[in-house]
Amino acid sequence: MSEVKEPLLTSSLRNRTKSTHGKLDEHLMGLGLFSDKEKYKIFLTLQYHIHQDAHHLYTHPQLARFIPNLQLRNRFDKVKEDMQDLEVPLPQAIKAPLITDISAAVGALYVVEGSKLGAKYLLHYVSMIGLSDQYGAKHLGADDEGRGASWRSFQSAIDTADIDIPVAVQAAEQTFSRVFDHVRHVTG
In this prediction, residues 170-181 reach a mean pLDDT of: 96
Quote the CA–CA distance of 9 and 159 in Å, as a whole number: 5
pLDDT of residue 6: 54
Give the predicted TM-score (pTM) of the model. 0.93
**62-118 pLDDT, tens per residue?**
999 999 999 999 999 999 999 999 999 999 988 988 999 999 999 999 999 999 999
Question: Which are the contacts of 25, defined by CB distance < 8 A and separation ≥ 6?
Answer: 118
Residue 4, pLDDT above cutoff 50: no
The dotted CATH code for 31-187 is 1.20.910.10
pLDDT of residue 188: 85
- Is the separation of the CB atoms in 108 and 172 below 8 Å? yes
**Is 146 strand, coil or helix?**
coil
Quote the CA–CA distance of 108 and 83 in Å, as a whole number: 24
In this prediction, residues 162-185 reach a mean pLDDT of: 96
DSSP state of 135: B
Q: Name the residue ranges covered by the structural domains of the chain.
A: 31-187
**Concatenated DSSP letters of 84-125:** HHTTPPPPPP-PPP----HHHHHHHHHHHHHHHHHHHHHHHH
pLDDT of residue 2: 44
pLDDT of residue 158: 97
- Is the separation of the CB atoms in 143 and 116 below 8 Å? yes
**18-75 pLDDT, tens per residue?**
999 999 999 999 999 999 999 999 999 999 999 999 999 999 999 999 999 999 999 9
pLDDT, mean over the chain: 94
CA–CA distances in Å: residue 90 to residues 61, 80, 94, 135: 28, 8, 12, 17
**135-169 pLDDT, tens per residue?**
999 999 999 999 999 999 999 999 999 999 999 99
**Is 132 strand, coil or helix?**
strand
